[in-house]
Amino acid sequence: MPATEQLYIRPIGFAASPQSEEGEAIRLAGGLVYATRFALIRREGSRVVARERVAVPDMAAALARLPDSLAAEGERQWAALGMAHPPLVCGARTIRLDQPQVMGILNLTPDSFSDGGAFLDNADVANAHAAAMLEAGAAIIDVGGESTRPGAPAVWEGDELKRVIPMIERLAAAGAAISSDTRRVAVMDAALKAGAHIINDVSALRHDPRAMEFAAASGAPVILMHAPGEGDDLHDGGPYADVVLDVFDWLKARRDAAVAAGIARERIILDPGIGFGKSLADNLALLNALPLYHALGQPLLLGASRKRFIGALAKEAPAHRRLGGSVAVALHGMNAGVQLLRVHDVAETVQARDIWRGLRDGALTDFSDLAD
């Protein structure tokens, strides 16, 4: 039986403003990135069978030429690329998604790859760190009680609950927007009751068989991350036929499964899972293809802070010395239109974001190079 042909619309050309292209650019995902040219890619099985470069004025004609089996998908992806996403409502806080927002990482674990043990056994230190991230401009604090680094042992849910619930309660009392980084329904439930607003599941609601039903019933926004493995080892998987397109298809399938289970489209955020079961080359390919994932029609989260690939590109720098690389990757994500940046170094990333935002705003109002 022949493989089903798949379609992908990947932005490949960008402009600082729509004015610089005389209006022939789309505002990518309702943000501050403007795309002018696209690759229209068709894949059959694992093989790319056609690739066409298309500018904005020519897209309607290019979509009309697609075979009937791909026409509807082409229209959906093209609409999704220009879709503005509604804000996330987190209790009294509203997180706008028309610009990059910073999510601060708070690992209450003994063995996370970067800051394991730093905040687990000292509530005062953890509280001060959370307060500093909020003061520095973190829109969301992501609280986790289990390391998902390669080879990390599974954590009993009772221990995970004891680690995270007191902190979530303190953050909720301070009025913070909170995401719960967990794979277990018992922890999701307790976290939401303690004041968390978002479920961030690195297994994309696959680890706990009750997770999809619970997330749908909860009404909370969910973050679905790509990881090739199942069970306790999310890093076990591959090789990929084409990591960029394979991850796209996987995220699309998980989004559709979530919608079928009753989770509203506007409550789904997607994460390509940098570092999870991926080589250095895989990670770089995904990062360079980030704009493609807007064609899925969901807000995107990028979690690359201090990860191993940064050390591999920076003279084997240890995790605590990967600040420059982490900020560089965050800026790369901003240029790709990513809405949420999950980071350890909040103050530095927020400062970089603010400068990036100033440059973007300036590009919208500076027409001196266009004068006759």
226-239 pLDDT, tens digit each: 999 877 777 777 78
Q: Which residues of 101-140 are buried (b: 16+ CB within 10 A; e: fewer)?
A: bbbbbbbbbeebbbbbebbbeeeeebbebbeebbebbbbb
List domains and CATH numbers for the chain. 5-81 (no CATH), 88-360 (3.20.20.20)
From first CA to last CA, the distance across the chain in angstroms is 60
In tens, the pLDDT along 278-328 reads 999 999 999 999 999 999 999 999 999 999 999 999 999 999 999 999 999
Tokens representing 48 are: 């790319």
| DSSP designation for 115 | T
19-71 per-position pLDDT tens digit: 889 889 999 999 999 999 999 999 999 999 999 999 999 999 999 999 999 99
Which residue, among 172, 176, 141, 150, has the nearest Cα to 343 in the 3D structure?
A: 141
Residues forming the active site: 307, 342
How far apart CA 90 and CA 108 sit, in angstroms, is 22
Q: Which two tokens stand for residue 13?
A: 């050309």
